[in-house]
Structure 1
Amino acid sequence: MGVTGIGGLFFPSRDPEARANWEQEAGMTVFAPFAADTDYFASDQSFMLNLRVTGLDELAASLEAADIAVERRPEWETEYGRFARIHDPEGLPIELWEPPA
């Protein structure tokens, strides 16, 4: 159970298609621009950190036991894996991503 690496860095962009025209060879680390008007994360945040994790359920329970709110939504259970979010003290979203087995 725990963080195993950075899963990606997501940020708004005026031209997401041009910025996304990068290729990677190894792993699922993603630097993905989102449209500037995205509602995937708050408009006052310039990026969202995504951490690749194992044991998402156990990690979420451990965070909640430490009085850290963990946000989970049914639509975040996808073909790409399972997701949850916590927020830092200034409200920056930190996405926890457990890739599919």
Structure 2
Amino acid sequence: MPVLGIGGFFWRAKDPEALKSWYRDVLGVGAGFGTDAEGKSSDWFWHPEPGPVVFEPFKDSTDYFAADRQFMLNLRVRDLDSLLEQLNASGVAVITKAEWDSPETGRFARIHDPEGTPIELWEPPAE
């Protein structure tokens, strides 16, 4: 199979520049973050750390995320507790539920970007 992984994620936004800034400032996601195999960063690319990616369609009747949204972004994180402290301190509403967490799948939290897109923060289980 010639597909190597996700090459990008594109969506419409009411204010793309403001939303890009929010993701950069609040979550450290987007161009300029991380480095490539040679240790270089880029003004255009985000170089996330290697790791698992879940690619999974849900039934259109799912209640796992809001019915008025076609997708939910899931971001793999390290040290969820520290990130949640930072998000709370910056005024981002955080949702956690004990039933979302398990030793097999890891820990989860939910936030929403300024345009209402659900974002699931996932800390995979320790290996």
> Normalized against structure 2, the TM-score is what?
0.58
Structure with the higher strand share, 1 or 2 = 1
Tell me which of 45, 53, 62 is aligned to 1:29: 53
The aligned amino acid for 1:54 is R
Contact 1:3 1:51 (C-alpha < 8 Å) held by counterparts: no
> 1:29-85, CA deviations, whole angstroms, 9 ceiling, x for partnerless residues?
111000010000011100000000000000000110001111100111122000001
Q: Name the counterpart of 1:80.
A: 105
Unaligned runs of 5+ in 2: 1-26, 30-49
Query: In 1, Cα distance between the equivalents of 2:97 and 2:73?
Result: 18
Determine the structure 1 residue equivalent to 2:117. 92
Aligned to 1:63: 87
Q: State how 1:42-57 maps to structure 2 within 5 Å.
A: 42-57=66-81
SS in 2 for 1:72: coil
Letter of the structure 1 residue corresponding to residue 84 of structure 2: A
TM value normalised by structure 1: 0.72
How many positions carry a matched residue from both structures?
Answer: 79
Larger Rg: 2
Give the % identical residues: 61
| 1:52/1:97 contact within 8 Å kept | yes
1:3-18 to 2 correspondence within 5 Å? none
Structure 2 Cα separation of the partners of residues 75 and 90 of structure 1: 27
CA–CA separation in structure 2 for the residues paired with 1:68 and 1:100: 24
Cα RMSD of the aligned pairs, angstroms, is 1.9
Larger RCO: 1 or 2 (CA < 8 Å, sep 6+): 1
Partner-residue secondary structure (3-state), 1:32: coil
Structure 1 stretches of 4+ moved >6 Å? none
Could you list the runs of 5+ residues in structure 1 that have no partner in the other structure?
5-25
